[in-house]
Chains A and B, each alone.
Chain A
Amino acid sequence: MKASDPMHEITLSLNGEPARLPEGTPLTQALEAWGYGERRVAVAINDAFAPRSTWPERTLGEGDRIDIVAPVGGG
């Protein structure tokens, strides 16, 4: 991965909608910034599960597709 430039913004997809972030933002910080904070959610990046334990180390890249899910009623 190339050195991160905090001034450079990347565009990615958050639950199917475009979102922008400074390049190199760790996932934990991105979730905080997006307002998920302490919420009970699970995350997938590019259709693969991203375990909570990997969030602090995981940085997001241009074009990443992030899915953030929470419990809903189901049958």
Chain B
Amino acid sequence: MHTQSPHDDALVLYEERFNSRFLLGTALYPSPQVMQDAIEAADCAMLTLGLRRQNPGGGNADGDGDAFWQILRESGCHLLPNTAGCRSAREAITLAEMSRELFDTPWIKVEVIGDDYNLQPDPFGLLEAARELVEQGFKVLPYCTDDLVLCQRLQEAGCQALMPWGAPIGTGRGLMNRYALRTLRERIDVPLIIDAGLGAPSQAAEAMEMGFDGVLLNTAVAKARRPAQMSAAFARAIEAGREAYLAGLMERRQTASPSTPTLGQPFWHATP
């Protein structure tokens, strides 16, 4: 990894190459046009989207599903359907199967929620769903906590990339547990994408500097005063963080060390 130049530094997920390390969500935008502009500015690897009940009249929780779908298709981005809101492995598996047919894609972000307060992934249901979906030939990207053993089990289940949370969904708190995340980076050798909880481009850059392979976010862009400008800012932060990781960060030190040479310092005279 360290020897690659940024120019041939593609993100590889399930043997597929992506020229961006930014995955963007498509919820919560003030209008379809604003979303479209944010997508363009992001130049992202994938767009996430969901499935919700569509009422006979044509409307659903997000207005007109067909119009929304049209915008995503025209963006030319890869689509990453999610199983958001599912409470059990069974629900997530069924929704994944529905997504595969509807979007004609094997990609799935598997989400099994275990608690309403922090929308924390249910590790047990998640692992069960991931096993079954990998078996069925899905390209599973599990939304998981930063628990090392869970991530190891997901990897053993055949997940070729994992998406640990930075912080709970929609909180914008950044990387809450750096120790756990650094441990994951040390111990897990499939691509790791920080999913959820990022609120600022600096937090995305930090994740990339730590060696994470990509970043998935939604609220920070959709709820910005100017979403397109914010998505451009995130795109640059993600690139900058990645380049910094490849360049190799200096070690932290406790004591100061002058950068300008001390040899030849004027006004220093041996006391007569």
Contacts and interface: CB of A to CB of B under 8 A. Distances in A.
Is B truly associated with A?
yes
Interface of A: 14-16, 34-36, 39-44, 47-49, 51-52, 67-75
Shortest 9 CB-CB contacts between residues of A and residues of B: A74-B50, A75-B25, A70-B65, A75-B218, A70-B54, A73-B27, A42-B98, A72-B62, A49-B97
B56 A71 contact: no
Main secondary structure of the interface of B (DSSP, over half): mixed
A39 B58 contact: yes
Contact of A74 (B48, B69, B90, B101): B48
A26 to B, nearest CB: 17
B218 A71 contact: no
A13 to B, nearest CB: 11
A71 B264 CA distance: 69
Contacts of B103: 71
A35 B65 CA distance: 14
Nearest to B102: A42
Contacts of B252: none
Contacts, number: 113
A35 B59 CA distance: 11
Contacts of A72: 27, 49-52, 60-62, 65, 68
A71 B91 contact: no
Nearest to B27: A73
Contacts of B65: 39-41, 70-72
Contacts of A15: 53-55
A22 to B, nearest CB: 17
A74 B54 contact: no
A47 B97 CA distance: 11
Interface in B58-105: 58, 60-62, 65-66, 68-69, 72, 81-82, 84, 90-91, 94-95, 97-99, 101-103
B50 to A, nearest CB: 3
